[in-house]
Chain A
Amino acid sequence: MVKHQRQGFFLFCFIFVFLIFFKCTVFAEDTVSHEKDYLDEETITTVADPLEPWNRLVFQFNDRLYFWLIKPVARGYSMVVPEDFRHAISNFFHNITAPVRVVNCLLQGKIKSAGVEAVSFVLNTTGGVFGFHDFAGKDLKLRVVDDEDLGQTLGNYGIGNGIYIVWPVLGPSTLRDTLGTIGDGFLDPVNYLELENAIMVHTIEFTNKTSLHLGEYEDIKASALDPYIAIQDAYIQYRNKKIKK
């Protein structure tokens, strides 16, 4: 009887030590295995780019446009409008596009995120004075990790990128994300203004946004050997990651 007990005990010890010994690996298996991408040493993110010669032309055009027009304007604007003000304007535009995010959260079945977006919208519009202050995000720490849009929703449904497209002024996109942007446009209240006013408001929005991101494009260009490919790849990696979330 005693001998049996002892044998059982040793077996137990053996299994336990065995488990502990492999604990790290077993534990890691659970947490890391769903992103084994570090094992892919040679993967290249690909996107069909049949329009490449044309896209490169548009890319060149945008590059010139940025340095000759957009950047100087955004610079001038940033000298006139203080940074805090520009952040407030950026908050305002982020707030009025809440319907886009709420709907896309719902379309992806992210009920909780949809709720958070809707509540933030109400709080920011009231407590945050028309959304100029990010009351919900900054003061209440109520924040959705990821801004959802229709391109991501379509990706979530299993629709691929289609082809890569560089739009004049607007920059990198894909066929899917272009459709997404158009769809989301219907939920952007600015687009319900008269055409002239809508264009004006979008121009302000664009200039304001650029003024807060001056230098980023320059950085990418400075660290790239082929800026067109660098930005294409960064765009695709970035979107893929957002869709996975």
Chain B
Amino acid sequence: MRKCFIAFTSLLFLFLIASRGYCSDPMQQLRVTVDKVIEILKRPDLKSPDKEELKRKLLGEVISERFDFQEMARRALARHWRKRTDQERKEFVRLFRKLLERTYLRRIEQYSDERIIYKEERIDPPYAIVKTVVITRDSVEIPIDYRLMQRSNDWKVYDVIIEGVSLVNNYRKQFDRIIRSSSYKSLVDRLRKKVE
């Protein structure tokens, strides 16, 4: 009886530990990435304009570890995604990624001198949301939420919500409008003109 109890308790612990480890991941993973981004933005040796390209490259590497651009593109194009060929999708992800990196970096760059607080994470496998707050110098609080998705052992960001405004939803509305009022081709042209 006793043996049985011990066996059961250890089993229980095992499950608890396993589920804890599984549950506590996304915030930690996100924090590592955001810290890395801010570190690069603050590096004095990358501040000069001629280092801009190197800086972009480093940032791109760090960000692509955590952000799932294909998922973002798929969600932003929504029903229009299904009609695209593999080639078109690939090209679209490439262009959209550039735009998103720029948008996100511009935002986070402004906040790099401020305090970022990781408030809470909620997990509903395979989804998770990590709520952060940026506190500016005059103590205005700007909530930034990250939506993440589990990909094997990693959590990948598929949407960033700044002050209640979802980036992906915002682009979805713009893309849908442009495609419906003109065409997919003109959307890609506009996107290309914007980032290249």
B-contacting residues of A (Cβ < 8 Å)? 6, 9, 13, 16-17, 20-21, 23-25, 28-29, 31-33, 38, 41-45, 87, 134, 137-138, 145, 215, 219, 222-226, 229-230, 233-234, 237-238, 240-242
* CB-defined contacts of B16 to chain A, threshold 8 Å: 20
Taking the closest CB of chain B, its distance from the CB of A11, in whole angstroms, is 12
Taking the closest CB of chain B, its distance from the CB of A213, in whole angstroms, is 11
Q: State the main secondary structure of chain B at its contact with A.
A: helix
| Number of residues on chain B facing chain A (CB within 8 A) | 49
Which of B8, B122, B176 touches A31 (beta carbons < 8 Å)? B122
Which of B1, B23, B164, B173 touches A229 (beta carbons < 8 Å)? B173
Is the Cβ of B122 less than 8 Å from the Cβ of A44?
no
Taking the closest CB of chain B, its distance from the CB of A95, in whole angstroms, is 14
Is the Cβ of B173 less than 8 Å from the Cβ of A41?
no
* CB-defined contacts of A145 to chain B, threshold 8 Å: 141
Which listed segment binds A: B31-39, B43-51, B57-65, B102-110? B102-110
Is B117 engaged at the interface, CB distance under 8 Å to the other chain? no
With contacts A225-B191, A233-B174 known, what are 9 further pairs, Cβ within 8 A?
Answer: A9-B4, A13-B8, A17-B15, A20-B15, A20-B16, A43-B169, A44-B78, A145-B141, A230-B173
Q: What are some 23 contacts across the A-B interface (CB < 8 A)?
A: A17-B11, A20-B12, A25-B125, A28-B122, A28-B123, A28-B124, A32-B122, A32-B124, A38-B127, A38-B159, A42-B172, A223-B103, A224-B174, A225-B187, A226-B174, A229-B177, A233-B170, A234-B170, A237-B165, A240-B164, A241-B163, A241-B165, A242-B164
The 4 residue pairs across chains A and B that have the minimum distance between CB atoms? A241-B164, A28-B124, A223-B103, A42-B78
Taking the closest CB of chain A, its distance from the CB of B128, in whole angstroms, is 9
For B194, the closest partner residue in chain A by CB is: A225
Which of B75, B165, B175, B178 touches A234 (beta carbons < 8 Å)? B165
Which of A17, A29, A137, A241 touches B12 (beta carbons < 8 Å)? A17
Is B185 engaged at the interface, CB distance under 8 Å to the other chain? no
For B120, the closest partner residue in chain A by CB is: A31
Interface string of B166-194 (1 = CB under 8 A from A): 10011111111110000000010011001
* CB-defined contacts of A44 to chain B, threshold 8 Å: 78, 169, 172-173, 176
Which of B4, B123, B166, B191 touches A237 (beta carbons < 8 Å)? B166
State A25–B159 Cα separation when bound (angstroms): 22
Taking the closest CB of chain B, its distance from the CB of A137, in whole angstroms, is 7
Taking the closest CB of chain B, its distance from the CB of A174, in whole angstroms, is 16
